[in-house]
Amino acid sequence: MTEAGVNRQLGAASTKISHEFSVSQMGRVTLEAMSSMTLLVVSNPSAPYLKWLRELPTDVNYVVGNTVETLSTVADSADAILYCMGPGIPLKTVWDLAPRVQWVHSLSAGLESILFPALAESTVPMTNGRGVFKESLGEFVVASILHFAKDLRRMVRNQEAGRWEQFDVEMVAGKTLGIIGYGEIGRAAAVRAHALGMKIHVIRRRPQLSEEDPIVEKSFTTAQRGEMMAGVDYLLVAAPLTGETKGLVGAAELARLQPNAVVMNVGRGPVIDEAALVEALRSGAIKGAALDVFDKEPLPDGHAFYGLENVLLSPHCADHTATWTDEAMQFFLGNLQRFQGGQPLLNLVDKKSGY
């Protein structure tokens, strides 16, 4: 079959990626070649990470697109959906097109904007990229801790001004890191902080799960979060956004922190009451904050966070390593092998809880 023939069958959106794949590689996507499995890849067709589709088994037929017109060509026979970042079409729309789907995978970890009731209530398993980016986020947390402990902003400011000004810095050994959301990311940060000599306190729905964790000194329930926060030097929020976690850290919780405390958020912005955090930072009620996520992204022009020197601001890119999308695709490919082989899927989402 000619490349033109392949393009006619794939539709305009898939035509955009035709130059990244040979005709033989793309040929298995055609309707005539369908055999054992059909995959809908909901993505911008020009996304670089789509190169990993070359690694799909030859018996997997797939169509890439971010429009109903493209995806509907094979949606009625689709067995699985790979939903990628920023596709421009809601997952529910794709779901409604594909009545036979037996598995849905989200390339990213966050589900609050894509999970919908029909999927949540169905028996179809959903998996996500949870934990794929935990190592880089764990490093960002440690970098944030050191940023404030050593007052790196002051060092840079003095260097730029040509000013020799000695001052005292803090040791992090012996300090306490409290973690709300002790999942993959929370533990990756805890491992690194513990290696620096920090004490680890965590909040989780089932504190008993930490009883045999060698790096956790104390474990608290969500209801005990005020008690935990009163005793920490650094607070890490790494929780997903659900109905239960939205606004979990508000003015009352922030008021329990010590004046030298630093708040870090690598989970989801709305887990912390943003207005309350701004007030705590402006008033000096807490020492500072390191933030990778926000209520609204991109952060609007003129937002208070931009002007606060006690804020370390990352534009939601603390996990954007050179290979982050590659790692996410590699994880998906491993799960696809499990799906085809009838093995348990990794990163199964608790759809009722939302993570």
The catalytically annotated residue of 297, 309, 320, 327 is 297
Distance CA 338, CA 256 (A): 46
Distance CA 324, CA 333 (A): 14
Produce one character per residue of 313-325: b if its CB has 16 or more CB atoms within 10 Å, e if not. Answer: ebebebbeeeebb
Other CB atoms within a 10 A radius of the CB of residue 311 amount to 18
Produce one character per residue of 70-84: b if its CB has 16 or more CB atoms within 10 Å, e if not. Answer: bbbbbbeebbbbbbb
User: Is 211 an active-site residue?
Assistant: no
The alpha-carbon radius of gyration of the chain (Å, integer) is 23
CB 348 within 8 A of CB 127: yes
Local structure of residue 272 (DSSP, 8 states): B
Distance CA 131, CA 266 (A): 12
Q: Which residue has the tokens 């926060």?
A: 229
Distance CA 55, CA 191 (A): 33
- C-alpha torsion angle, residues 228, 230, 232, 236 (rounded to 10): 60
The catalytically annotated residue of 147, 316, 327, 338 is 316
Q: Which amino acid is at 193?
A: A
CB 271 within 8 A of CB 245: yes
The catalytically annotated residue of 268, 274, 279, 309 is 268
SS3 of residue 31 by DSSP: helix
**DSSP per residue, 64-80:** EESSHHHHTTTGGG--E
User: Is 268 an active-site residue?
Assistant: yes
Contacts of 160 (CB under 8 A, 6+ apart): none
Distance CA 79, CA 182 (A): 33
Active site residues: 268, 297, 316
